[in-house]
Amino acid sequence: MEKKAVDGDRLESVDLVLAMLELLAGSAVPRALGDIAATLSISKPRAHRHLRALMLNDYVRQESDTDRYEISAKLMALGETARGRLSFGGAARPAMARLRDMTGQAVTAATLVAGQVTIVELLHGRTLVQFAVRPGAVMDPERSAHGRIARAFGARAPGEAFDVIRAHGWATAPGEIFTGVNAIAAPVFGLHGRWVGSIAIVGSIDDIPAVPSPSLIEHVIAATREASNQLGYKEAQ
């Protein structure tokens, strides 16, 4: 019985924290402690404890002159990241489906989430053995095809290897992450030519060799062009 009570208290605390964040995010102006407590029907000491915890984690800030509370820049940045992730994934998915149908291989999409190259979409291939990484997986920035594209087109990293990737418009990573597995990734661009992510096919090195066939490369690039167009990118004429 005691353990159930503890679990219930923890869930209630989470609910309260989320309610606080929603209240502050939906407010046009910073809110006073008493106002927050009254709106959420809790005591001022309890409201203060939870607000303090949110402040310690940089999700809420307190105005020094009025002592009122509002959401922080960190929380707003997380919201923008999530919105960008969802819009990128939605724009990429139709092109990914066509790429999967054309090649039979698993298709992944990656973008930056909290500064890390992260898989945000996955479509399983038609092959007997599946080669793919789950959404939420963070990719190595140096050893993965997605990571190399991010470094070449997002960070504009210097170096001959990245110059080659930029010149070709795609990157591979044969056997770098998993033995016998390769990927071909290409960049996706948004408005004003800004890099927003990448799409890749992933499969056995027998199907996607270290030196890929021109047709495989073209299929990947065609998919990224389609996704880029969905995001408002216009190639220079």
CA distances from 4 to 11, 14, 131 (A): 11, 16, 41
CATH number of 82-230: 3.30.450.40
Q: What is the pLDDT of residues 160-188, one digit of tens each?
A: 999 999 999 999 999 998 899 999 999 99
Average the pLDDT over 131-135 and give the result. 77
DSSP three-state, residue 173: coil
| Amino acid 131: pLDDT | 72
The yes-or-no answer to whether 2-71 and 82-230 have a common fold is no
| pLDDT score at 5 | 43
Tell me the per-residue pLDDT of 83-128, one tens digit each, with 9 for 90 and over.
666 678 888 999 999 999 999 999 999 999 888 999 989 999 988 7
Q: How far apart are CA 118 and CA 65, in angstroms?
A: 40
- The answer, yes or no, to whether residue 10 has pLDDT greater than 60, is no
**What is the fold of 2-71?**
Arc Repressor Mutant, subunit A (1.10.10)
- Extents of the domains making up the chain: 2-71, 82-230
Report how far residue 167's alpha carbon sits from residue 219's, in angstroms, rounded to the nearest whole number: 17
